[in-house]
Chains A and B, each alone.
Chain A
Amino acid sequence: DIQMTQSPSSVSASVGDRVTITCRASQGLSSWLAWYQQKPGKAPKLLIYAASSLQSGVPSRFSGSGSGTDFTLTISSLQPEDFATYYCQQAYIFPRTFGQGTKLEIK
């Protein structure tokens, strides 16, 4: 299985801050990676697919980059509704695997 490791596991930030979350895969994924946002008690929501493509309806302050084994999710200017847990997921090979999550908290 491909292991997905996110860092940090949690981060505290303020509204308006720029935040970057990193995801590292145990083997190369090309660009076949997605980012999801999950709020408490809710289902995950697709934000980014193919490493850098913004899902329809997702604000442009979210962006993704990377290829191979190293990927990043950046939120350019945090809004109150962005405080949530973020997961990366590899779509390169079965079984589909997720990172352990990064919890973004209000400072």
Chain B
Amino acid sequence: QVQLQESGPGLVKPSGTLSLTCVVSGGSISSNNWWSWVRQPPGKGLEWIGEIYHTGSTYYNPSLKTRVTISVDKSKNQFSLKLSSVTAADTAVYYCASLTIFGVVQYFDYWGLGTLVTVSS
């Protein structure tokens, strides 16, 4: 069974860059899955940030596209998120998740535990 674990600083200063890594265990990042980041501001709903395939192909949420970079490191079986120019509105629990094809469409089937990132000076 695939397991995902997020890591990174829990506090980022305004205008800085948020950087998180998600380590994948129990499966290969080079499998036929896509790997995604989803965030959830405190007390609010879920927002898809973007996703990556092991070849490096990416899709980003247009609302964040100018500030987001998702990358993959196959040698370490992990993928990463960078979000630049952060503000307090970026304070959220950040989840990494895998997207598996069910039939012809992908759904989020495995999730990390989530990590809270607070943007504050």
Interface of A toward B, CB cutoff 8 Å: 1, 32, 34, 36, 42-46, 49-50, 53, 55, 87, 89, 91-92, 94-101
Interface of B is mostly: strand
Contact between B109 and A98 (Cβ–Cβ < 8 Å)? no
Contact between B105 and A36 (Cβ–Cβ < 8 Å)? no
Interface of B toward A, CB cutoff 8 Å: 45-48, 59, 61-63, 95, 97, 102-103, 105-109, 111-114
> How many angstroms from the CA of A32 to the CA of B105 in the assembled complex?
7
* A-B contact number at CB 8 A: 54
Q: Give the residues in chain B near A95, CB-CB below 8 Å.
A: 48, 59, 61-63
Closest to A43 in B: B111
Closest to B60 in A: A95
> How many angstroms from the CA of A95 to the CA of B46 in the assembled complex?
12
Q: Give the residues in chain B near A98, CB-CB below 8 Å.
A: 45-48
> How many angstroms from the CA of A92 to the CA of B113 in the assembled complex?
26
